[in-house]
Amino acid sequence: MACDMCFNKLKARRDLWVACFSLKDRNSIINQVYQMVWNAAVFRLINEARRITPDNPQGHKEINGTLHYFIDECFFDSQLLAVRRLTDGYPLDGERGVFSLLSLLNDMKANASLMRRGNLFLVEGNEYDYEAIEHRALAYGLEQMKSGQRVIFTPPELDSHPMKLRHEQIDVLSGVKENQRTPNDCIREEIFDRLIKKIKSATNEIKVYVDKNIAHASTLESRAFYNAEQVSITLGYLWEAHKIICQVVHFINAYILFDGSGGFLATPQYDHLEFIDKSLVSKEGIDALGEVWQEFQKETTQWASWGLKDFQHETV
């Protein structure tokens, strides 16, 4: 059904692809997505809290502008960087290997010829012939009935539905009709092209913005060359990028790797809203915060005293 060399090559690549979704590696794609979505959820809590904060008599929200500006800036920078990392274009393995969606998709596309129906069933450890499983399940049921069993629970190994489902998925991925199936049906490269295009179209402006304004302090000339000054990332654009990233991650995990896929927002294992009703500091503590600010201002002022005098007694 599949040559040993093709099977071994596919297994080696698939092991790498599966590692992209491992919870054990802090940099894996799935851990990056979980962290990104979790932080987005926390920001939505903060945004909603700001919205429902009552106005004072002057019609302004009684929230600290310094603190919330800091929250907004850190949130946007970290989220845009998260999207940028997930769409990095370096190879998936090697000295400069990175865990990114584009790296993964490009690697899958390059090895699409290995992803044949027969190979996939072998490497996934599934039985190709689901009808044979159905026959065994029927025989098992009849045997149980003969022994007087009224309620029959079919063992998992006699459940043909996952194998039948996998064939149906590969039908779509390979563009083959059910009555034309063969072990050599191959996942089409166009599948990966479409996923790559979907990711790029939803994140390209974020990539430009991060490259020119966050990851690198680009010059005016550099920003003009890429028209980066015209790029403005809205919250809606960011949410759309999140949605597309999660959709593609789900597609890869569920249909290419056939490894299942759940939600993307982790369930808190603690009371994540505990003390959220408490203020950051009491009125009595405000003076202490002022002192901290003044001390740091003095410290940074002293940094400007370093200069030529420090070179007077140094030798080259």
- Does residue 43 fall inside a structural domain? yes
Give the pLDDT confidence score for residue 219 in this predicted structure. Answer: 60
Give the pLDDT confidence score for residue 110 in this predicted structure. Answer: 96
One digit per residue, the tens of pLDDT, for the chain of length 316 reads 456 778 899 999 999 999 999 999 999 999 999 999 999 999 999 999 999 988 888 888 888 999 999 999 999 999 999 999 999 989 999 999 999 999 999 999 999 999 999 999 999 999 999 888 888 888 888 888 888 777 677 788 888 899 999 999 999 999 999 999 999 999 999 999 999 999 999 999 998 888 888 877 656 656 555 554 555 678 899 999 999 999 999 999 999 999 877 789 999 999 999 999 888 898 899 999 999 999 999 999 999 988 888 887 665 5
| Burial of 139: CB neighbours in 10 Å, binned 0-12, 13-18, 19+ | exposed
What amino acid occupies position 194? R
Structure tokens at 83: 């999207």
- Does residue 204 fall inside a structural domain? yes
In whole angstroms, give the CA distance from residue 266 to residue 258: 21
Q: Please say whether the dihedral angle defined by the alpha carbons of residues 75, 81, 87 and 93, taken in this order, is positive or negative.
A: negative
Number of domains in the chain: 1
Of 103, 110, 117, nearest to 168 (Cα)?
117
Give the pLDDT confidence score for residue 223 in this predicted structure. Answer: 53
- Does residue 124 fall inside a structural domain? no
Residues 6+ apart with CB under 8 A from 119: 2, 6, 7, 10
User: Partners of 55 in the beta sheet?
Assistant: 61
- Does residue 136 fall inside a structural domain? no
Give the pLDDT confidence score for residue 2 in this predicted structure. Answer: 52
- Does residue 218 fall inside a structural domain? yes
State the residue range of the domain holding 222: 9-65+77-110+197-298
- Does residue 180 fall inside a structural domain? no
Contact 215, 84 (CB under 8 A): yes
- Does residue 2 fall inside a structural domain? no
- Does residue 170 fall inside a structural domain? no
